[in-house]
Amino acid sequence: MQKLNLAQGFKLVLLALLLAALAACGRDNIKEGTSDAATSPNQYDLVVRADKDGQFDLDNATVDTQTLRDHIRYRNENGQPVHSILLKPGEKQKVTNAQVAGLAGISRDLKIESYVLDNDGKLKVIQIADDGKK
């Protein structure tokens, strides 16, 4: 009789863990690092789209976060400064937390205003946390 209760308890715990995992998958954590954009530029200096594996589509080329950072530095050094950047969902890829985090790091390091058109079609500004480093 006790084995039956232990087995039932194990099943309940397993079910609870499964439900918690499913609930975590459904979250849209993009909203945690962004806020509604009260104002936005009329046009952006650079527009990138979400691509697979947390990468970006830049002029039909798939680039990672470091390559995007290098591209922005190159433009800044060659008289085409990037002050604002917009991340949009790709043709087949939604905006992911990895892309927002990568763009937030670029924005913090290069002092750029970053915006994201989230998966709900709302324009958000990426919030940059100042961690006190100089």
What span, in angstroms and rounded, lies between the C-alpha atoms of 31 and 106? 18
In a domain, 24, yes or no: no
In a domain, 17, yes or no: no
Please tell me the predicted confidence (pLDDT) of residue 41. Answer: 79
Please tell me the predicted confidence (pLDDT) of residue 12. Answer: 53
pTM of this prediction?
Answer: 0.69
What span, in angstroms and rounded, lies between the C-alpha atoms of 56 and 69? 11
35: tokens are 């806020």
Does the pLDDT of residue 126 top 90, yes or no?
Answer: no
In a domain, 18, yes or no: no
Quote the domain boundaries for residue 77.
30-126
In a domain, 132, yes or no: no
In a domain, 11, yes or no: no
In a domain, 80, yes or no: yes
Number of domains comprising the chain: 1
Q: Would you place residue 76 in the very low, low, confident or very high pLDDT band (cuts 50, 70, 90)? A: very high
Please tell me the predicted confidence (pLDDT) of residue 86. Answer: 95
In a domain, 5, yes or no: no
